[in-house]
Structure formats: C-alpha cells, structure tokens
C-alpha cells in the first residue's frame, strides 16, 4: 500500500546530491518534514500524494506552509515565546 505522501529530496554532499525520500500518511507530519528540510537546506525535488506528483500550485502551498512553520519556530526560540504568543503577535503559521 502506498503512503499518502512521499517527499523526494536530495542531500548535497561534496558537490553531488544523494537522493532520498520520506513517507507519511499524515499531512501535518508531511509539513513538519518539509519544515525540517527547509531548515537544513535540503533540495526538495517533488511531493507525491498517493503516488501522483502534486500540481505546482499545491507543491508551493505546502512549501509555503512549511516555511511559516520554520519562521514560527525561529520566532519562538529567539523571542522566547510559546506558539500561542507567536500566533497572537505574528499570525498563524
């Protein structure tokens, strides 16, 4: 059985890219994986949903949401806020 979400990504190593993927059935977990990949500077190549590549608009929306998660994490860490305070002051992730 296919996982609902499959993220294809590459890890840059000494001028080359080592391709890898992660699988999950949970869309929230998928967002968290994407946020971690953005934080680490990994090359996000493709997101598949039930074996089909996401349309570019949906791909960008998922990456945008993950970027908001990263920004919220950074704000919470740097300003010593809890997620509820960050949401109140800066809006939703």
Tell me the backbone φ, ψ of residue 55, rounded to 5 degrees: -60, 155
CA distance 62 to 83: 20
pLDDT at 91: 81
pTM of the entire structure? 0.87
* 3-state secondary structure (DSSP) of residue 25: coil
Asked if the model's pLDDT at residue 1 lies above 80, the reply is: no
Measured CA to CA in angstroms, residue 17 lies from 43, 45, 56 at distances of: 9, 11, 22
CA quadruple 16, 53, 62, 4: dihedral positive or negative? negative
Domain boundaries, the chain: 5-90
In the predicted model, what is the mean pLDDT of residues 50-74? 95
Asked if the model's pLDDT at residue 42 lies above 70, the reply is: yes
pLDDT at 3: 85
């Amino acid at each position: 059985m296919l996982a609902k979400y499959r993220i294809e990504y590459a890890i840059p190593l000494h001028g080359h890219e080592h391709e890898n993927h992660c699988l999950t059935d949970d869309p929230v977990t998928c967002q968290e994986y994407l946020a971690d990949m953005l934080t680490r500077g990994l090359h996000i190549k493709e997101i598949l949903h039930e074996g089909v590549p996401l349309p570019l608009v949906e791909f960008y929306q998922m990456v945008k949401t993950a970027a908001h998660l990263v920004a919220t994490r950074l704000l919470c860490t740097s300003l010593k806020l809890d997620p509820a305070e960050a949401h109140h002051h800066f809006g939703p992730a």
